[in-house]
Structure 1
Amino acid sequence: MQFVLVGFSDFPNLQEFLFAVFFIVYIIILIGNFLIIVVSSMDPALKKPMYFFLAHFSSLEICYVSVTIPRILYNIETQNRCISVMSCATQLCFFLIFGTTESLLLAIMAYDRYVAICNPLHYILIINPTKCTHMAVFSWLSGIPVQIGVTCQIFSLHFCSSNKIDHFFCDVPPILKLACGDTSVQELSVYVVDTVVAELPFILVLASYSKIMVTLLRLPTAKGRAKAFSTCSSHLMVVILFYGSGTVTYMRPKSMHSPGTDKLLSLFYTTVTPMFNPLIYSLRNKEVIAALKMLFLKS
């Protein structure tokens, strides 16, 4: 009726240090993303589609990390690593849903930059407020039925050997490792879903940036190229961090998974990327920096 999240119990002498690290990281993620949401909604200079999607992305990051980090902190603080099957399934389901939303939002943000740079005269017509809202709603809702189905399929398996999940949260690879019998159908469904909700958006992102790079090289001035590239480079960094670690984790065969590697890769897309996102988007964006300065001066 329950699993045990092994987490970081291999390091008994580092429990207090790990708690402090995860707590500080969580606070940084909450504050950084909350500030982006505030300045994007309050500053008139940021009333643009790019910042509309950035505000949604920051909201998503808060939801995304809140699925995993509070549970990690609870497990370390109480040293009670037990989690019910229903709680584990719920955590996995929300994690997959928010992961799908992030993948789609990153693709939408790449499309926004593609239209802005490659088709600037029609940008206002193509990326209008109504279309922005529709794309944002699509990214938030489209993964719900798919990932509920994946979660139900995974937890319909029988777990008869061990109940110890060698991970710090309920993720697909370590749960499949505990299943008895043939899991090829579940693994195939994970590959198919991952291809649709992650790999296809990633291909669209790469296609968008290929077109953007060609357009940038055609700009007459170096200043114009630098300005256009600065608005895209931050997004590209986030894309590489998220898709890179996620793809390696979910597209590898079951036999190639190891607890240490899975934990390390998971740390990238569950904590490291959400922590650096506000820094990447703010420090590399003059408009966001100006809006933050105005916000702090008013306060």
Structure 2
Amino acid sequence: MSGLPVFVSAGEALTDMLRDGADNWTSQVGGSTWNVARVMARLGVPSAFAGAVSDDVFGDALLRASAEAGLDSRFLQRLGHSPLLAIVYERNPPRYFFVGDDSADLYFDPDRLPAGWHGAASWVHFGGISLARPPLRDTLLALAVRLKEQGVAISYDPNYRALMDERYDPVLRQMTALADVIKVSDEDLCGLFRCQDPEPALAALRALNPGALYLYTLGAAGARLLHGGHTWSAPAPEVRVADTVGAGDASIAALLYSLMRQPEAGMDQHLRYAVAGGAAACLAPGAAPPTLEQLQQQLPAVSVYNHQAVQS
């Protein structure tokens, strides 16, 4: 492997420990930023996940899944620290906590990445719980600032989790101000802004960076794309849902894929890809990255509405 990836996602890769019944547990590889990298690779974009995992059986599983996805292995660091685990003890509604006080992810070192990688990358993605876990948080914030100064495009998905309390507010402000593309869901907004109505929260978030492109996902109701004074919306196509895990990660990845591969396309087409990507991810159980063929099969079923055009 000689060429460097054009897309890099930096953050956390972890293991979900899922409770099935009183004493039955299953494990599943995961992590928001890691999932985005896997989707991009599955869509055919030379990609990497930049992060650290444990040097044990949990890290082995993440290494295998990364290789199966086609991610550049030079960006995944193996360290002799404990694994990062998400203990999901109830599924509906989800109740969970994280185990990883001194885990490998916290020791990720950008200086160990391949020489010249930031010159090859056109986009770098940030988000997930990695930005809520010091000292990794500070490492990634500093990296995002450096990349922005070097002209690399930044995407950001906070992907709200319970540990993102008021201590996360400065991170939200800084990353939103840095990012070119920001993905957020209605549930994210209510959690991040500690409110019941996501619409004022969305307006407050956009005020932090009015020039950014915002992908606002609404679950089964579809998504909106917002840029400047323009809004495009698209209902979700009807699909036979096997699992919604990873749908949000697939939607931001599909949007970035569209922006990278067809930059001349209109915002309606970019949103169509984002919604189709999220729908395609629901076709298989677990955070299964959709193929480009699966994504494209969903495109004809996605209708996009330009709200500016309707108002005029």
TM-score (norm 1): 0.25
Of Structure 1 and Structure 2, which has the larger fraction of its residues in helix?
Answer: 1
Larger Rg, first or second structure (1 or 2): 1
Of Structure 1 and Structure 2, which has the larger fraction of its residues in strand?
Answer: 2
RCO (CA 8 Å, sep 6+): is it higher in 1 or 2? 1
